[in-house]
């Protein structure tokens, strides 16, 4: 079917100009797509739940402004000679929401035609039988054989799990390399995956242990931000437990806790792997439990669509309000496993559905549930990574949930989440699903800061050498710090992020590095009591320019708290699991004692579970 191309490029920005406690302001400009000239007398109509709310016209310079109560609205834009366009926008209380709308001419030019992609979908009102028929046809399974799909998967008796190799960060000479730059990481998949190994009395693969993800599995007692930035910065230092000649430095970030009432509506697309490899109980059955738990947490203003993929990709449920929980959970209950894995096609369709239902000013996200075993169509990690890198420009975020064992593709899912403004978790049991979609729901779904980068400058007069513990997959070049085009990690509301450096004080007797003196560069030291300076860059969601935070750590001016003590016990545990060359005098007994001492308030029992994991590991590694 041929139809006119509609081009409407919309950029959403947020400013923090206070207008009224109960009202927000929609501010925008309408321009010609081709030459960006302003369009005057464009008619802008605003509706809420199909009820007319307000109307205005753009001025000669293309600008318009409408005051509205906080909430979700449909905005229709009409201009003579241009194609009509309709969008969804969320108005924040007491803030301005800015739109830039670039409209295309309504004249059909030569070759300006597109062929609409066919999307398999179901009607709003269907019987379970009809839903089953649509679903099986959509993903390429014969309807008559649908009930037999659970038998398509042939279990394998060998292990094909995949992990990306990790080369541990080494000690760097602070005089030759004074800058250490990395992207923050809020992923926690490695911790749950390690727990899965240990509970089965197995040693985890060393490359399955990403120490920063173990550390960041836990919340720490950092203060809420008070300076207008979306997160606070905490610095602590103390002796290094596994090498008392060295020091340990903690850098902690705490994302702002946002009231649920202030969080904009969610436009979610569940992308669910229903291929044959997902048949075992710890894959699709567990996935269905996890996603149904998420549905239980949704608000009426949230929306969910469901896309599945096996041999092909199909739309099982159109975007549906969160209030219709029975309809959403019924669609999830219908899912069964069978067939090959066309993950690339599923990703394309999921992003397309997310963009069709995009909420400007809202939270738009694709949530993938899979074991990562893609084998049809676009299936290589590099191809999938490029695909997701292209899709992240749409403003749609990404969450990847890993399931299963035996053929689990951890390295692939880690790379894809990093490529797509995403986060990554591994669900090994239903309690982990409750953590991700319960206690940490809005941290998982709602991003408050994008492209967060950290750069530490060490003072060579005080620091001889340093080593960043973990974050090997997140290292950046020094020049990347000031490059706003460089992608980095995102922080969700309420998230904590923790990084640890082991440092060798200046004058220390032992040297871990061997670098010849530089021949052409004369290096001088500045007299200062600074141990180091921490700089952070981040972007507010929807903005393209970063903001800078800077904080200095003076020698001997900060004391350690239970934050550093507990984080160091987790780091020591991780180094033991990796059998790290930098573990020094580490032992499970030392990590266990420090974790017990620093446990403090443990409302949900996560730290107590860690203590049990250390005890299990001590027995296994004997």
Q: How confident is the model at residue 99 (pLDDT cuts 50, 70, 90)?
A: confident
pLDDT at residue 357 greater than cutoff 70: yes
User: Is the Cβ–Cβ distance between 444 and 437 less than 8 Å?
Assistant: yes
pLDDT of residue 546: 96
pLDDT digits over 413-452, tens only? 898 888 878 899 999 999 999 999 998 999 999 999 999 9
Is the pLDDT reported for residue 116 higher than 50?
A: no
Token pair for 563:
């934050």
How far apart (Å, rounded) are the C-alpha atoms in residues 395 and 543?
11
For residue 231 the two structure tokens come to: 């997160």
pLDDT digits (tens, 9 = 90+) for 444-485: 999 999 999 999 999 999 999 999 999 999 999 999 999 999
Distances (CA, A) of 549 to 457, 466, 533, 556: 13, 22, 11, 22
Does 250 have pLDDT greater than 90?
yes
As a whole number of angstroms, the distance between CA 308 and CA 287 comes to 13
Q: Which residue has the tokens 């290589």?
A: 380
Point out which residues pair with 303 in neighbouring strands. Answer: 267, 321
pLDDT at residue number 151: 35
Average confidence (pLDDT) over 71-95:
88
pLDDT value at 555 more than 80:
yes
For 267-307, the pLDDT digits (tens) are: 999 999 998 889 889 999 999 999 999 999 999 999 999 99
- Among 76-80, 165-169, 369-373, 497-501, the minimum mean pLDDT is found in 369-373
The neighbour count for residue 264, using CB atoms within 10 Å, is 23
pLDDT of 343 higher than 70: yes
Query: How far apart (Å, rounded) are the C-alpha atoms in residues 275 and 279?
Result: 8
Place of tokens 């003072």: 459
Q: Determine what percent of the chain is predicted with pLDDT higher than 70.
A: 86
| Contact residues for 213 (Cβ-Cβ < 8 A; gap 6+) | 185, 187, 188, 189, 190, 191, 470
Q: Report whether 413 contacts 403 (CB < 8 A).
A: no
- Let me know: does 495 contact 443? Beta carbons within 8 Å: yes
Q: Which residue has the higher pLDDT, 359 or 17?
A: 359
Task: Give the tens place of pLDDT for each residue, 489-506.
Answer: 999 999 999 999 999 999
Neighbours of 86 (CB within 10 A): 12
pLDDT at 571: 98
Q: What is the pLDDT averaged over residues 195-222?
A: 96
Residue with tokens 């580490």, as numbered in its chain: 586
**409 CB-side CA count, 13 A:** 19
Give Cβ neighbours of residue 161 (< 8 Å, ≥ 6 apart). Answer: 205, 405, 406, 407, 408, 409, 410
The 10 Å Cβ neighbour count of residue 99 is 21
Query: Minimal CA–CA distance to 143: which of 340, 349, 334, 348?
Result: 334
- Mean pLDDT of all residues belonging to the chain: 85
Using DSSP, state whether 148 is helix, strand or coil: helix
Alpha carbon distance 488, 482 (integer Å): 12
With CA atoms as reference, report the closest residue to 255 among 537, 494, 516, 531: 494
Higher pLDDT, 557 or 586: 586
**Residue % of the chain over a pLDDT of 90:** 61
pLDDT band at 385 (very low <50, low <70, confident <90, very high): confident
Say which DSSP state 82 is in: B
So what's the pLDDT on residue 484? 95
CA dihedral 167, 410, 374, 363 (to 10 degrees): -110
Check whether 138 has a pLDDT greater than 80: no
Residue 189's nearest CA partner among 393, 418, 391 is 418
Model pTM score:
0.82
Query: In degrees rounded to 5, what are phi and psi of residue 391?
Result: -75, -25
> pLDDT band at residue 404, thresholds of 50, 70 and 90?
confident
Residue 117 has pLDDT above 80, yes or no: no
Distance CA 577, CA 621 (A): 9
Give the closest residue to 567 by CA, choosing from 219, 204, 182, 191: 219
What pLDDT does residue 121 have? Answer: 40
What is the average pLDDT across 85-92?
86
What's the pLDDT score for residue 352? 93
Q: What is the mean pLDDT of residues 343-359?
A: 90
Average pLDDT over residues 223-243: 95
Phi, psi dihedrals of residue 220, rounded to the nearest 5°:
-125, 160
152-156, 188-192, 343-347, 552-556: least confident range: 152-156
Residue 337 confidence (pLDDT) = 86
Rounded to whole angstroms, the Cα distance separating 189 from 207 reads 13
Per the model's pLDDT, the better-predicted residue between 315 and 375 turns out to be: 315
Delineate the domains of the chain, giving CATH numbers in brackets: 2-114 (2.60.40.10), 128-151+259-445 (3.40.50.410), 172-191+206-258+447-512+527-591 (2.60.40.1230)
Is residue 145 very low, low, confident or very high in pLDDT (cuts 50, 70, 90)? very low
**pLDDT 10s digits, 251-268:** 999 999 998 888 999 999
Model confidence at 574: pLDDT above 90: yes
């Amino acid at each position: 079917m041929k139809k006119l191309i509609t081009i409407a490029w919309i950029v959403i920005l947020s400013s923090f100009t206070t207008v009224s406690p109960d009202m927000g302001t929609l501010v925008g400009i309408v321009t010609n797509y081709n030459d960006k000239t302003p369009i005057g007398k464009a008619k802008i109509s605003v509706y809420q739940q199909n009820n007319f709310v307000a109307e205005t016209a753009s001025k000669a310079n293309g600008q318009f402004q409408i005051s509205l109560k906080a909430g979700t609205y449909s905005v229709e834009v009409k201009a003579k000679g241009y194609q009509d366009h309709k969008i969804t926008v969320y108005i924040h209380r007491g803030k301005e929401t800015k739109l830039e709308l670039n409209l295309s001419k309504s004249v059909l030019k030569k070759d300006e035609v597109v062929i609409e992609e066919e999307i398999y979908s179901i009607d709003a009102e269907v019987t379970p039988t009809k839903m089953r028929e649509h679903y099986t046809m959509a993903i390429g399974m014969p309807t008559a054989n649908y009930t037999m799909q659970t038998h398509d998967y042939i279990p394998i008796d060998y292990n094909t799990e995949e992990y990306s190799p990790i080369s541990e960060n080494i000690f760097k000479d602070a005089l030759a390399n004074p800058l250490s730059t990395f992207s923050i990481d809020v992923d926690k998949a490695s911790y749950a995956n390690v727990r899965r190994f240990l509970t089965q009395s197995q040693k985890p693969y060393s490359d399955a242990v990403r120490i920063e993800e173990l550390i960041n599995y836990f919340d720490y007692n950092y203060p809420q931000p008070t300076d207008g930035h979306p997160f606070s910065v905490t610095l602590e230092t103390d002796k290094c437990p596994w090498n008392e000649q060295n020091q340990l430095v903690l850098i902690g970030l705490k994302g702002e806790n946002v009231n649920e009432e202030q969080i904009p509506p969610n436009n979610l697309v569940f992308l669910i792997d229903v291929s044959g490899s997902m048949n075992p109980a710890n894959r699709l059955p567990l996935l269905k439990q996890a996603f149904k738990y998420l549905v239980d947490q949704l608000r009426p203003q949230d929306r969910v669509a469901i896309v599945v993929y096996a041999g092909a990709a199909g739309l099982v449920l159109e975007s549906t309000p969160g209030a219709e929980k029975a309809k959403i959970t019924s669609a999830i209950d219908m899912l069964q496993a069978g067939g090959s894995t066309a993950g690339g096609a599923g990703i394309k369709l999921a992003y397309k559905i997310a963009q069709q239902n995009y909420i400007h000013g809202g939270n738009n996200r694709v949530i993938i549930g899979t074991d990562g075993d893609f084998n049809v169509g676009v299936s290589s990690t590099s191809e999938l990574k490029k695909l997701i890198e292209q899709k992240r420009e749409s403003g749609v975020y990404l969450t990847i949930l890993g399931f299963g064992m035996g053929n689990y593709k951890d390295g692939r899912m880690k790379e894809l989440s990093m490529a797509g403004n995403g986060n990554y978790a591994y669900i090994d049991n239903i309690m982990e699903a409750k953590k991700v979609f319960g206690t940490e729901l809005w941290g998982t779904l709602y991003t408050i800061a994008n492209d967060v980068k950290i750069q530490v400058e060490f003072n060579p007069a005080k620091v001889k050498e340093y080593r960043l513990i973990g974050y090997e997959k997140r290292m950046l070049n020094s020049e990347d710090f000031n490059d706003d085009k460089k992608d980095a990690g995102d922080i969700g509301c309420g998230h904590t992020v923790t990084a640890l450096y082991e440092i060798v004080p200046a004058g220390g007797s032992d040297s871990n590095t061997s670098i010849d003196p530089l021949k052409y560069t004369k290096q001088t030291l500045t007299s200062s009591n600074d141990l180091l300076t921490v700089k952070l860059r981040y972007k507010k969601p929807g903005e393209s320019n970063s903001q800078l935070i800077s904080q200095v750590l003076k020698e001997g001016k900060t004391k350690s708290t239970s934050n550093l003590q507990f984080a160091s016990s987790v780091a020591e545990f991780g180094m033991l699991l990796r059998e790290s060359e930098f573990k020094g005098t580490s032992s499970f007994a030392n990590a266990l004692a420090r974790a017990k001492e620093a446990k403090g308030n443990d409302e949900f029992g996560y730290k107590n579970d860690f203590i049990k994991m250390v005890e299990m590991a001590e027995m296994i590694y004997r």
